[in-house]
Amino acid sequence: MRFLSILFCLSIYGNTFAQSDTDAFFIKKIYASALTEGASYPWLYEMTTQIGGRLSGSPQAAAAVEYTRQELETLDVDSVYLQACLVPHWVRGAKEQVRIVNSNAVGSMDLNAVALGNSIATAKHGITAEVVEVQSLDEVEELGRAGLEGKIVFFNRPMDPTQINTFAAYGGAVGQRYAGPRNAAKHGAVGALVRSMTTRLDDVPHTGSTAYEADDQNIPAVAISTNHAELLSDLLENESVQVYMQTHCQNLSPKPSHNVIAEIKGSEFPDEIILVGGHLDSWDIGHGAHDDGAGCVQAMDVLQVLKRLEYKPKRTIRCVLFMNEENGQAGAQAYSKASDAKGEFHLAAIESDRGGFTPRGFTADGDEAVFTKRYKKVVEWLPLLEPYGLDFEKGGSGADIRYLKSQKGLLFGFKPDSQRYFDYHHTDIDRIEAVNKRELELGTAAITSLVYLIDKYGL
């Protein structure tokens, strides 16, 4: 923040960008339209309540492709099309069971659990093993085969609740979920429990991808709720605890799927593309309302608002709904590969994948060679965006658009308030009820305003 304020000082005293009343007026119109004629909320309502969770390869993911394609067709933009990609096809199968067995303190007790994406099934009748708690990946290496063979490893380092940016707290803990099970498997562990990725203490388990590099590293892995993680940890202080796990997951053959793309062709610089996007897939539990239905409908609504305001862009505005962000990013890779092959140039790409909460600004990233120049220009727009509570900061953009970095445009991550995101992330409660209509619409307006400025002034 301090850095930005200094930049902003410079911009007051020395910059070349003259804030125009026309811009302030048009941005006001964008906000008014998004807040009173926006389509983001009804689209999200439909996508979540009528389609639901949209895991790659699922019938719901296919339905979401068709639904958003049809809705984008109604906008009378220049083109709407699908782009093929081949996605991993993991299925959860029947409800997982995870149970403490024969504890002196609690007897036999079910734990709130969900299998992690990519996890395999247990043996048909499940597995039972002693639990070893660890706080880090380092501890796995210290324990080694002597400490882990035949055991279920329990990764229990919490997300740090004192981090104000909850994404930073997530970044500090998610390695346990991503690499924990495979690393434990290398030392002979037979299963993994991972504390859910949230700062809340509650009964809601959070899924998400776990990774492995060879088939023998893939062991049954589940997330358990934070309340049950606390309970299990307490028990382990006083007794050896055995846990029973039964999962039914399968990795099936990859399946054809699609990115959904719609664009308004630029009138002066059609070859300079401004991308707005989110990811259409979600986890299978819950309805993927914040992650990332919100980002998709906001990206769609950017086109809707610009069309409604009869704005004729100089540059090409392209909405891309990426498939398979959650467990492979096959859609993002197909998109960037095709784009590079066609020699396209993305002047800017803006991804919304941090939930539909009150906007706070954008993170910006880009190739070193051009970042400073382009970012300097963006920061000069702050006087137009600060009245709406928006700022810029340097930082990662988004999992799908990062593949476009080599095209040397500027990559933005839409940055909403992060406080509630990890209450819902990858859970059964990520549903429309968790999304506030007005907060969602303000996100559409923030992104549309940035698109407008980039389109008008370039970078």
Query: Which residues does residue 252 pair with via DSSP β-bridges, in sequence order?
Result: 89
Sequence letter at residue 283: W
Binding of residue 168 to a second copy (CB under 8 A): no
Binding of residue 16 to a second copy (CB under 8 A): no
Residue 242 structure tokens: 């055995």
Binding of residue 206 to a second copy (CB under 8 A): no
Question: What secondary structure does DSSP assign to 347-363, as a single string?
Answer: EEEEE--S-SS-EEEEE
Shortest approach of a second copy to residue 197 CB, angstroms?
Answer: 15
Shortest approach of a second copy to residue 223 CB, angstroms?
Answer: 20
Nearest to 423 by CA among 211, 232, 225: 225
* Residue ranges in 75-174 assigned as alpha helix (H): 137-148, 166-171
Stretch that binds a second copy, among 143-151, 241-249, 336-344, 379-387 (CB under 8 A): 379-387
In the chain, what is the greatest distance between 2 CA atoms, to the nearest angstrom?
74
C-alpha–C-alpha distance, residues 208 and 286, integer Å:
12
Nearer residue to a second copy within complex by CB, 35 or 338: 35
Pick one of 128, 388, 399, 458: the residue that binds a second copy (CB under 8 A).
Answer: 388
Nearer residue to a second copy within complex by CB, 359 or 409: 359
Residue 331 structure tokens: 């859609």
Lay out the site mask for a second copy across 346-365 (x = CB under 8 A, - = otherwise).
------------x-x-----
Pick one of 31, 167, 311, 403: the residue that binds a second copy (CB under 8 A).
Answer: 31
Nearer residue to a second copy within complex by CB, 136 or 358: 358
Give the DSSP letter of residue 157. Answer: P
Q: What is the CA radius of gyration of the chain?
A: 23
Binding of residue 15 to a second copy (CB under 8 A): no
Binding of residue 6 to a second copy (CB under 8 A): yes
C-alpha–C-alpha distance, residues 134 and 153, integer Å:
7
C-alpha–C-alpha distance, residues 160 and 287, integer Å:
27
Shortest approach of a second copy to residue 5 CB, angstroms?
Answer: 5
Q: Are 185 and 221 in contact (CB under 8 A)?
A: no
Burial label, 398 (beta-carbon count in 10 A; 0-12, 13-18, 19+):
buried
Binding of residue 308 to a second copy (CB under 8 A): no
Pick one of 436, 456, 457, 458: the residue that binds a second copy (CB under 8 A).
Answer: 436
Binding of residue 79 to a second copy (CB under 8 A): no
**What is the contact surface with a second copy in residues (CB under 8 A)?**
1-2, 5-6, 8-9, 12-13, 28, 31-32, 35-36, 161-162, 164, 199-200, 358, 360, 383, 386-389, 417, 419-420, 423, 436-439, 442
